[in-house]
Structure 1
């Protein structure tokens, strides 16, 4: 974030004038009133000050006289998408983030100055045959199959646009002309959209070698075009940059229950028995962030999948991170997944 929430703290005895100056100087439209231990006592907005003046208070009056002593707050670490949804519902411009009652941050509805814009390229993989969704994909590429009233890939595109991304590339192979006809150059969504075409399937990693050599030196986000998700892409990118990662893979928590009792032994002796244990794994969610170094290392027209590309990076002792996602996620690979998506979309916001 491009601001420091510590600059908007006030003591309850501070004059209202100080609150106004602080709100104007920091351009956050809010001030936080705290005690010596940074425990939140209230919040002050320009509107609170104006209402106080209408009650015949002066600018020399203490800020405690105009603050809202019971503000809405959120827990530190809450996903930005959840915070934005809550702020829009409650008509809030900003919300304090607390940890054990102590002020630990601030989130704003529109980040400072203007809506955030990210120049990072976003690569949408849309070249698959979708064989497991036949006969639906016999005459329509899977990314154009509709979930609700929009194609899958358009829902994915809109998710990135809402997060502030503006530069997109789509990889095509099967029925490419239909995808190009639907999305065009991206002007319909006020974004930049270009295409790369795989003459033969190159895998999720190999398609990176077809991208223009003059892409900006910024991390690139790659996502499979059949993934329906509410993952916070801004937080993902922030995580990648914070850890100075060569690559970041989004992972999902996956549980598998063994349907039998598991016996552990040494030789012929039983040591322990566990009835139908549950095993937990992190699984690949089909969403990645890769550095320009890794992207440019992919040889043009060479076939390689992303897990193999990341394994090569790990073997070079490069920093490859995993980003666990708890938001909604669905890989629309099978007919039952597609049918589930039709139900889920009714209660989701994309």
Structure 2
């Protein structure tokens, strides 16, 4: 299988770190995000990865050139100007020979089972939504208890992990986000499926708090 990692963003929310290094090289337990992602994809049999880059591309290329023991073939699809997720997939996908491929957002750390995604065409992994903040349970005007990051039952969110057929490339915009263009259209036409994952490890690295929380969880897994 082939995978695309969408890693072209500037990571503005992680400034000032991303003023000096691109977001894929931000470390989690001293290992950059991109290395965690490559190891994750390799675990599920991915042999070739195309990394979509734009911001500080050379730093990512140089890092991976030194890390020559990752065990997968790595290519780059460089965006001269920001293309959005749809445009990035379209550009990168033109060189993919497989009938289908995975897509992973460049700031996503997860253990979602990719093997469960290949059974259907054009599929999004979804995870049960958790609140970002603590919630209070109330009876009348009395607070009964506090709960941190409680799961909201039966409310599902896009996990940023996809299995797509190559035919989707013809429908993708040259510039624009797949989440705002093709996905809504495919959903209306009944051409988009999902697999739900409960209790999966999943982090989107958008803040310093995300770095801290994800690092702690990864540390538990390693131990």
TM range (shorter): 0.7 to 0.9
* Residue 170 (structure 1) aligns with: 51
* Residue 117 (structure 1) aligns with: none
Shift of 1:136: 1.1
Whole-Å Cα distance in 1 between the matches of residues 80 and 113 of structure 2? 33
The structure 2 residue matched to 1:338, chosen from 185, 190, 211, is 211
Shift of 1:198: 1.4
Q: In the TM superposition, what whole-angstrom CA distance separates every residue of 1:263-315 from its partner, at most 9, and x where no partner exists?
A: xxxxxxxxxxxx99x8531011111111111134324x322233532112223
- Structure 1 residues 121 and 295 mapped into 2: Cα distance closer, same or farther (>3 Å)? farther
List aligned pairs for 1:214-225, cutoff 5 A. Answer: 214-225=95-106
Structure 1: which 5+ runs fail to align?
Answer: 1-119, 262-274
Q: Which has the higher strand share?
A: 2
Three-state SS of the structure 1 residue aligned to 2:20 is: coil
- Structure 1 residues 231 and 199 mapped into 2: Cα distance closer, same or farther (>3 Å)? same
Shift of 1:209: 1.6
The structure 2 residue matched to 1:304, chosen from 177, 188, 193, is 177
* Residue 43 (structure 1) aligns with: none
Three-state SS of the structure 2 residue aligned to 1:348 is: helix
Shift of 1:317: 3.5
Whole-Å Cα distance in 1 between the matches of residues 163 and 61 of structure 2? 25
Q: TM-score normalized by structure 1?
A: 0.55
CA-atom RMSD in angstroms = 2.8
List aligned pairs for 1:178-217, cutoff 5 A. Answer: 178-184=59-65, 187-211=68-92, 213-217=94-98
Structure 2: which 5+ runs fail to align?
Answer: 139-143, 146-150
Shift of 1:349: 3.8
* Residue 106 (structure 1) aligns with: none
Conservation of the 8 A alpha-carbon contact between 2:4 and 2:101: yes
